Chains A and B, each alone.
Chain A
Amino acid sequence: MSDKKIVVDGLTKSFFSNQGALPVINGVSFSVDDGEFVAIVGPSGCGKSTLMNIIAGFERQDFGWVKVDGVERVGPSAKGIMISQHGSVFPWLTVQQNLIFGLKGNGHGDKGALAKHYAAMVGLKGFEAAYPHELSGGMLKRVELARALVVKPEILYMDEPFSALDALTSLRMRTELQRILDEERHTVLLITHDVEEAIYMADSIIALSPRPTTIRNTFRVSLPHPRKISSPEAQGLREAILRELGL
């Protein structure tokens, strides 16, 4: 119990409309160890994002519960920062202002130095005074990542973080994220439809069924980093996961 960072038990969620109830999540249970990287893959529209929103505290489940560090989660907190597909970098603030946004009070020492440290870590050096609309999609993702890292969250919730980027930038961001995670051990929950992305980074991969979603299978990835997607082990794993997803 003590080394379980996140415990999800029996999560169930339905959306209600005029046509009646639409069950989205049908009893999902799993746990994430401290410092573990867990990827969740599933067919599109299966309720992955809803699942993530519930775990991060933005939406409420119908049944079941989520515990973080043994405490039941009731709403969002700075302990776990969400990074989503469309991003939420504030367009009216400069990069620097975005980076220090989450820092409260004086408990963080020199805010400027902290922001500078993480700007350098994600490769934003020299862009501190720029506004988001002056940056490319890849640079914006770096801002979002740095803004999250500045508050030193214990958990990163990543919901298809790189899927709005072009393929090349997405690959580069994947490598960069891996490098950053080697420096700062975060617990990561990643939602993706990209099986290779999951294999490249995750310690463990959960495959979901179509809606209403349940867990089909869980795969351990014990390949050493940096991983090669073209290796036979990775390819074998990829095929096993794709088969689980019905492909």
Chain B
Amino acid sequence: MRASSATLTKIVPPTVVILLLIAMWWIVVVKNDSAIFPTPWQVVAGIFELGQDGTLAEHIGASLFRVGTGFGLAFLVAVPLGLWMGWVSGAFRTLNPIFQMLRPISPIAWIPIAILWFGVGDLSPIFLIFISSVFPMIVQTTAGVHMIDRRYLRAAANFGVSRWVLFSRVVIPAVLPEIIVGIRIGIGVAWLVVVAAEMIALRSGLGYLIIDSRNAGNRYDLVIASMIIIGAIGLLLDGTTRLLERLKTVKWRYVR
């Protein structure tokens, strides 16, 4: 009884706000008699239209493939590099300034270079996603190593364990919560960037779908339908990575 009322208070207020926003949107569009801006109902119809001819699944698949590849490569580079930079102070001193300088450059600024190097195929957005997600993951992993409590390293030194045990049983598990934070940030920016990249150079993907819908006769119902789908998938990606926080070996970080 209590549990169900708790979930009710969790679900009801945001639902009410969303319904109010949709109602306001609907009233404003109808009052203004706008020829271009769609009503919520037209957007829902647009989503169905996209879903039915199979193009929607294709666009989603294309975007997810690019994010998966670019992010996967970034992960494979960032975690070992971050661990190394965190552990070896010489590596940190040498590489950190370069990464700190590259990190604030918006991935969008890399688009001309991406096109120059990789053309307008799949490689360009994969490169952009790599660039956007690799730096935050390096920074998080490095910070994670620096944050390891000294008493744990001392205990490992006290027992005189091998380097392998030190890394596999102490350093990596200690950094894992930070790596998961890095993964969340990395996937978040990767999803932002893939849509932006697809709006400029490509013939597929959700970003392309938005630009194409606008160009093909101002189909703003499809533009907004795509935006909602992008938001929903972004939420789903974040929710999936958050599941990693439930791993038993990282729970210590979230209980106090």
Determine which of B151, B158, B252, B255 lies in contact with A81 in the assembled complex, contact meaning CB atoms within 8 Å. B158
Using an 8 Å CB-CB cutoff, how does the interface string of B235-256 with A read, 1 for contact, 0 for none? 0000000000000111110010
Say yes or no: A84 contacts B158, CB within 8 Å: no
Determine which of A58, A81, A92 lies in contact with B173 in the assembled complex, contact meaning CB atoms within 8 Å. A92
Total interface residues in chain A, CB < 8 Å: 24
Contacting residues of chain A (29-86) with chain B, CB-CB under 8 angstroms: 56, 58, 75-78, 81-82, 84, 86
> Which single residue of chain A is at the shortest CB-CB distance from B159?
A102
Determine which of A75, A91, A104 lies in contact with B252 in the assembled complex, contact meaning CB atoms within 8 Å. A91
Q: In angstroms, how far is the closest chain B Cβ from the Cβ of A132? A: 7
- A-B contacts besides A82-B155, A92-B249, 13 pairs, CB < 8 Å: A75-B157, A76-B158, A77-B158, A82-B154, A90-B152, A90-B155, A92-B173, A92-B174, A92-B250, A101-B165, A131-B248, A131-B251, A132-B252
User: Is B169 on the interface with A (CB-CB < 8 A)?
Assistant: yes
Q: In angstroms, how far is the closest chain B Cβ from the Cβ of A204? A: 24
> Which single residue of chain A is at the shortest CB-CB distance from B250?
A92
CA distance A58 to B158 in the complex (A): 8
Contacting residues of chain B (133-171) with chain A, CB-CB under 8 angstroms: 151-152, 154-155, 157-162, 165, 169-170
User: Is A151 on the interface with B (CB-CB < 8 A)?
Assistant: yes
Say yes or no: B154 contacts A104, CB within 8 Å: no
Knowing A92-B174, A133-B251 touch, does A77 contact B160 (C-beta < 8 A)? yes
Q: In angstroms, how far is the closest chain B Cβ from the Cβ of A175? A: 25
Knowing A76-B160, A131-B252 touch, does A92 contact B176 (C-beta < 8 A)? yes
Residues of B in contact with A (beta carbons under 8 Å apart): 151-152, 154-155, 157-162, 165, 169-170, 173-174, 176, 248-252, 255
User: Is A240 on the interface with B (CB-CB < 8 A)?
Assistant: no
Say yes or no: B160 contacts A133, CB within 8 Å: no
User: Is A93 on the interface with B (CB-CB < 8 A)?
Assistant: yes
> Which single residue of chain B is at the shortest CB-CB distance from A56?
B158
Say yes or no: B154 contacts A76, CB within 8 Å: yes
Q: List 17 A-B contacts (CB under 8 A).
A: A77-B158, A81-B159, A82-B154, A84-B151, A87-B151, A88-B152, A90-B155, A90-B170, A92-B173, A93-B169, A93-B249, A104-B160, A104-B162, A131-B251, A131-B252, A133-B252, A151-B159
Q: Which residues of A contact B249 (CB under 8 A)?
A: 92-93
* A87, A90, A133, most chain B CB atoms within 10 A: A90
Q: Which residues of B contact A102 (CB under 8 A)?
A: 159-161
> Which single residue of chain B is at the shortest CB-CB distance from A144?
B155
Say yes or no: B161 contacts A104, CB within 8 Å: yes
CA distance A76 to B154 in the complex (A): 9
CA distance A90 to B162 in the complex (A): 16
> Which single residue of chain B is at the shortest CB-CB distance from A82?
B158
Q: Which residues of B contact A91 (CB under 8 A)?
A: 252
CA distance A247 to B251 in the complex (A): 46
Q: Which residues of B contact A97 (CB under 8 A)?
A: 169
> Which single residue of chain A is at the shortest CB-CB distance from B156?
A101
Knowing A93-B169, A131-B248, A132-B252 touch, does A88 contact B157 (C-beta < 8 A)? no
> Which single residue of chain A is at the shortest CB-CB distance from B177?
A92
Closest CB pairs A-B (n = 5):
A91-B252, A102-B159, A88-B155, A92-B173, A88-B151
CA distance A88 to B158 in the complex (A): 11
Knowing A131-B252, A133-B252 touch, does A93 contact B158 (C-beta < 8 A)? no
Q: Which residues of A contact B174 (CB under 8 A)?
A: 92
Determine which of A78, A88, A93 lies in contact with B154 in the assembled complex, contact meaning CB atoms within 8 Å. A88
Knowing A88-B151, A92-B176 touch, does A133 contact B255 (C-beta < 8 A)? yes
Contacting residues of chain A (139-158) with chain B, CB-CB under 8 angstroms: 151
Say yes or no: B169 contacts A101, CB within 8 Å: yes
> Which single residue of chain A is at the shortest CB-CB distance from B249?
A92
> Which single residue of chain B is at the shortest CB-CB distance from A80?
B158
CA distance A88 to B159 in the complex (A): 12
Q: Which residues of B contact A133 (CB under 8 A)?
A: 251-252, 255
Q: Which residues of A contact B154 (CB under 8 A)?
A: 58, 76, 82, 88
> Which single residue of chain A is at the shortest CB-CB distance from B254?
A133
CA distance A78 to B170 in the complex (A): 17
> Which single residue of chain A is at the shortest CB-CB distance from B252?
A91
> Which single residue of chain B is at the shortest CB-CB distance from A102?
B159
Say yes or no: A78 contacts B159, CB within 8 Å: yes
